[in-house]
Amino acid sequence: MDTQILRRTRCKRLDAAEKRKEIARSEGPPSDTGLLSANLRIRCSVSGPPGGGPAARIGEYVLLEPVDGGCTLRAVDTRSGEEVVCKVWPLHQCASAFEAYARVGLHPQLSSPQDILLGARHTYLFFPRHYGTAHGVLRSYGPVSEACTVTLFRQMVEAVAHCHACGLVLRDLKLRKFVYSSPEGTKLLLGSLEDAYVLQGTDDSLSSRHACPAYISPELLSSVSGHPGFAHYSGRCADMWSLGVMLYALLTGRYPFQHPTPATLFNKIRSGRYALPDWLSHNARCLLRCLLCREPRERLTAHEVLGHPWLTAADGPEPVSQDINSPDMAINQGDQLVPDMEDEHPMDMISCY
């Protein structure tokens, strides 16, 4: 593993006999050995009862309730008393996870694990505490000003550009993957690399369809209908489409393509037709068209997006009148709103047909 990561990450094999000792002395000091019984099955729903009682103990950490509807939990480091975030991955994913983090090293727009514990069946990655996901904050408070969106979206693109330059395709890229690193809500980080694919060369052709339905690109759907399992697509270009969906949602508070029925949703995505509000600035609409483009190779790369006038203009986006009740925004309003939850489990798009 990269030496920068090794300085911040400790990988420990958890010993069953020591775990039994840990349980027996539940009031004793935390152990240094990172302990877990070989036959203990940890589930994503593990939590401490509201009325008290023991929470799950993993090494020096106490696992609390799950967050974001998936295998992510609040946790407390018993050595410092600080709250952290624990992501639980199947053990077989740990090698690819280590390779992904070794590739990217440390970057200001990436949240890197500060501790890793290896169990008999699971890998536990501990990250610094965050203050909500981009999806959760958008759902709760709605879109912010275009000027604020410029700052947040630039941070997103910087994270994606760095990963692409290091040979990673992120896949399943969505708002929920980005987390706020401060309560002020001014800095976004890419929360983890759990779905990233490590490229072994310059070719980014992929065949697996790993994406949340609202963010999936047209070429993934088109390739499914032709030759299931064999058609390839550009992983980086698919990531850029997902960035376009995220930008649209940040600016408007709704997805460009949304419908409760998968077949109808996918038809909308294949068509590539969506409404651009008149109250968005010219440069914002231009960038959206450059990302939500049906032809993959015509989309801007992450590096090119960072040079787009919408992100580089010294005086920021030109002021416009934002009328959220305009007729343009009233089109299909019922099925355009960002839903309460994104699909936490990526879909194999072949199985949808």
3-state secondary structure of 241: helix
- Max distance between CA atoms of the chain, in angstroms, equals 67
Please pick, among 68, 172, 204, 239, the residue that the annotation labels catalytic: 172
Query: For residue 276, what are its two tokens?
Result: 């651009």
Residue 172 catalytic?
yes
| Contact between 290 and 323 (Cβ < 8 Å) | no
Strands of the chain, DSSP E: 11-13, 56-58, 61-67, 72-77, 83-90, 115-118, 122-128, 168-169, 178-180, 188-190, 197-198, 205-206, 210-211, 233-234, 347-348
The Cα-based distances of 286 to 42, 272, 305, 311, 338 in angstroms read 47, 15, 11, 12, 22
Distance of alpha carbon 295 from alpha carbon 107, whole angstroms: 31
Going by C-beta distance under 8 Å and a sequence separation of 6 or more, which residues neighbour residue 54? 26, 48
The Cα-based distances of 40 to 35, 45, 72, 190, 332 in angstroms read 11, 14, 18, 31, 49
3-state secondary structure of 176: helix
Beta-sheet pairing, 168-169 with 210-211: unpaired
Catalytic residue numbers? Answer: 172
